[in-house]
Structure 1
Amino acid sequence: MNEEVVSQTIRGLYEGILDETAWQSGLVRLRDASDSMNASLVEFTPINQRFRVNEIYDQNQELVDAYNGHYQAEDPARTYMRHMDQGDWYIDSRELGQANMMRLPFYREFMYGFRLSSVMACLVERKRSQEIYFFLQKPLGHPPYQADDAHRIGWAIPHLRQALRLRQRAHEARALVELSEQVLERLSFGLIAVAADGKVLLHNACGERWVRRLLAGHGVSSGLVSHDGWWMKRSLQEMLASACDPCETVPAQATHACDNSGNSADVIVLPLPPAHHLAEPWQRPAALVVIHEAGAAAPLLSDMLCDLYGLSPAETRLATLLTAGIGLPEASARLAIGHETARTQLKMIFNKTETGSQARLAHLLTQLGACVGPG
């Protein structure tokens, strides 16, 4: 491959992280550089010992269905791939021998049936849950792959591996954003993530109007009128500062807001230190501002713990009991779980809520419970 084709191939793989057309063009150049008919990515799942074609350029659906449904189990590459290291190549003519290839059902029925003659594959990525292989297939009538064929495009494998990783992260990020938006919009109360300097990081639809009410300018001070004529019993600035204080973070704070028309709402401020998954992208202390308006359907405490902190039902039950002043041994007995299980759950609760002690956890749940009602 000349320098221009190499450059175009690498650019296509990295641009393909976000652009499907560019990704396909990168695979096509690798296919053409190896005189192949097909270029594909094949996933192997160790738990069920199955190969599955995930991507193939110029996809022949009949070929993909035949391989995924039946012939993956007869692929002789299985025997060799389990011993490969990342970056190693499987070359059928080298591992099997041409005479043996012609006698195998995989070649007689599948390969020759789709006018293919030879296979080589590289282990691109190996994880505990999956292995990703880059497969190339020669057209019928062409000589089988040799070691020189693998050597000729071996330079591309590190780029393919890195692009695959970034592509997967981009896909996961898009899925997480979509899921997060769905979860946030499902909440019946206002939710705003705020940095220590008052900058709004995100909010849901219910919280949008409260961004203007509570955070216009530098926030609402105690007793002062906000943008929409609302006032609060405590200074939001002070509550945010306490929630974002890295030295002495207050687990939870609550106050009451109202306007001259008799409307009212409870406002809760919860700390989100840098380790929290919602604060992590900004890598600095932040806070969640939760607003429950009077007259709106009150969220259950258990639902809030799940939505805001990701506590499981079992962890929520344990946290609620501990907040009532019950010790861990009695709580584990009431819940009919082992003491070690309870200790493990409590550690997860501390990690997810960033409290670190039962006293701080109790303070958090007491403040939440005072505004939203028991779960």
Structure 2
Amino acid sequence: MSSVSESRLSDIIDALYAGSGDPREWPGLLGPICTYLDAEVGQVVVGDHTRSRWDGDYYYALTPNRDEADLTDFLAAHGATDPRRKLFLASEGRVWLDHEMEPPGFDASPIVRDFLDPLEIRRQIAAVVVRDETTIATLTVMRSRAAGPFTAVHADRFSLLLPHFRRSFHIHKALRQAAGVAQGAAAFVESLDNPVILCNGGGQVVLANEAARALSRQGALSLRGGRLSLPRAADEGRLNACIAAVFGHDRRLGRGKAGHEPCGAMGIAVPRPDPKPPLRLLVCPLPGAHALADASPGTSLVALVGVGDTTDRPLGTLLASLYDLTAAETRLVDQLRRGLSLKEAADALGVAHSTTRTQLANVFAKTQTSRQSELVGLVGRVASLQAPL
């Protein structure tokens, strides 16, 4: 490949990755692609291959010097019956020169006579760039019969584009799926009855659901200026210490302030005017949750969850509701917090030691702890939520 062709290829690839990977951005590259491949017309077709017809279900684009109506008219008339279609669409990633996918006698067919020759697009190189469960995307370059057929050299150049188009499409698809998950998760948080506030390491609020905003309107806390604050300076200091300690525990989240004992989660009870019960908050680390709050990748987050008045709730019930523990897991945690070893807990509960090992592994995963001592410490901090002020 000449240095000029290499430079053109590099420019196309750079422009492709500079975009979002959405195939609807690809038409902007058709001009440079045609120059790179000595073509006169470029075409992108994107659509749902589970549909029975081409027309109406697909998105089309041609180079700016051609009217898209030409393509839509062609597909409406011949798309479903084009004898090249079945072979072409079944071969993702293969580069086809026009003569390789044409049946005998095709040159004398109405498709060539009525459309390809009059539109001066008789010679073609084409490929299915992407074909997944529903979407198909094709890329084609064309030129007139007079310009002569494309060669194997052109096909080789064309093939160098395909992995990059395919990769950019899958990046775009993954980003869309991640955005959908994040939106769904954020909607779930919004629907919760418990107040939930997500904060970064700098104390900035990146997400607060309606229940939390209601507390702000009532004056129990403030979310003004995108920062969480409490009415009393002493309570706010205790809350900031909790957040710093939680960040110090999880190295994936960042470093806590010097002097804070690392911990997986902490509870804080904030007094409110009588007769309202205290506002009890559980502060938990949320590694990898930046997408949930539309924060920048790598942003460290903690969740502050209001757990309501817990003074009349058994500790086991509170633990089960906060960490989604099963009844068996809750009973095991109760034995461990009393100082029993795992084997002693198994004997006390009348189950096999292997069963308690499995249950403990599940509890570790749900509570983001990794040792029994760490788990017992967490249980103690949750128990502090029940203590009278």
User: Normalized against structure 2, the TM-score is what?
Assistant: 0.56
Structure 1 residues 266, 3: CA separation in 2 closer, same or farther (over 3 Å shift)? same
Q: Which residue of 2 aligns with 1:13?
A: 16
Counterpart for residue 28 of structure 2: 25
Q: Which residue matches 1:289?
A: 304
Counterpart residue type for residue 183 of structure 2: E
Partner residue of 1:191 out of 191, 196, 207: 196
1:91 aligns with 2:97: yes
Residue segments in structure 1 that go unaligned for 5+ positions in a row: 46-50, 221-225, 306-315
Equivalent position to 2:221, from 213, 218, 243: 213
- CA distance, structure 2, for counterparts of residue 193 and residue 304 of structure 1: 16
- Counterpart CA distance in 1 for 2:72 and 2:369 is 55
Aligned length: 327
Q: CA–CA distance in 2 between the matches of 1:13 and 1:196?
A: 35
Aligned-partner residue type, residue 244 of structure 2: A
Change (3 A) 1:259 1:352: closer
Q: Does 1:202 align with 2:204?
A: no
Residues 148, 21 of structure 1: CA spacing in aligned structure 2 closer, same or farther, 3 A cutoff?
same
**Could you say what the CA RMSD is over the residues aligned between the two structures, in angstroms?**
5.9
Give me the whole-angstrom Cα distance separating, in 2, the residues matched to 1:366 and 1:7.
60
Partner in structure 2 of residue 251 of structure 1? 264
2:329 is the alignment partner of 1:322: yes
The one-letter amino acid of 1:252's match is A
Unaligned runs of 5+ in 2: 62-67, 251-260, 336-341
SS at structure 1 position matched to 2:240: helix
What does residue 136 of structure 1 align with?
140
In the TM superposition, what are the counterparts of 1:1-375 in structure 2 within 5 Å? 13-14=16-17, 16-17=19-20, 22-27=25-30, 30=33, 34-36=39-41, 38-41=43-46, 55-57=59-61, 58=68, 60=72, 63=75, 75-77=86-88, 81=92, 89-91=95-97, 93-94=99-100, 96=101, 98-100=102-104, 102=106, 120-122=125-127, 124=129, 134-136=138-140, 138=142, 146-154=151-159, 156-157=161-162, 159-208=164-213, 210=216, 213=221, 227-228=230-231, 232=235, 235-246=238-249, 249-263=262-276, 264-273=278-287, 281=296, 283=298, 286-293=301-308, 305=323, 316=324, 319-325=326-332, 343=358, 350-351=364-365, 353-357=367-371, 360=374
| CA displacement, residues 159-207 of structure 1 (integer Å, 9 cap, x when unaligned) | 5345434433443344344323322211222222233443434333333
- Bigger strand fraction: 1
Contact 1:323 1:361 in 2 (8 A): no
- Separation in structure 2 between the aligned mates of residue 321 and residue 212 of structure 1, nearest angstrom: 36
Whole-Å Cα distance in 2 between the matches of residues 232 and 371 of structure 1? 14
What displacement does 1:243 show? Answer: 1.4
Q: Secondary structure at the match of 1:269?
A: strand
CA distance in 2, matches of 1:39, 1:72: 20
- d(CA) in 2 for partners of 1:72, 1:188: 59
Sort the Cα spacing of 1:213 and 1:22 in 2 relative to 1 into closer, same or farther, 3 A. same
1:229 and 1:259 in contact (8 A); partners too? no
Instruction: Provide the identity percentage.
Output: 19
Equivalent position of 1:48 in the other structure:
none
Q: What is the CA–CA distance in structure 2 between the aligned matches of 1:102 and 1:324, rounded to whole Å?
A: 76
SS of the residue corresponding to residue 29 of structure 2 reads helix
Structure 1's 275 and 200: CA in aligned 2 closer, same or farther, altered over 3 A?
A: closer
Cα separation, 2, equivalents of 1:10 and 1:267: 50
How far off is 1:24 after superposition?
3.1
CA deviation after TM superposition for structure 1 residue 357, in Å: 4.6
Structure 1 pair 173–180 and aligned structure 2 pair: CA distance change class (3 A)? same
Once the two structures are TM-superposed, the CA of residue 268 in structure 1 deviates from its matched residue by 0.8
CA deviation vs aligned residue, 1:244-296 (integer Å, no higher than 9, x gap): 2237642332232222354332111112346997699553654211124569x
Distance verdict in 2 for CA 1:322–1:41, change over 3 Å? same
CA distance in structure 2 between the aligned counterparts of 1:272 and 1:20, rounded to whole angstroms? 34
Secondary structure of 2:241's counterpart equals helix
Greater mean alpha carbon deviation, residues 174-183 or residues 28-37? 28-37
Q: Which has the larger radius of gyration?
A: 2
Secondary structure (helix, strand or coil) at the match of 1:267 reads strand
Structure 1 distance, partners of 2:244, 2:142, is 65
Decide whether the 8 Å contact of 1:189 with 1:291 is kept in 2.
yes
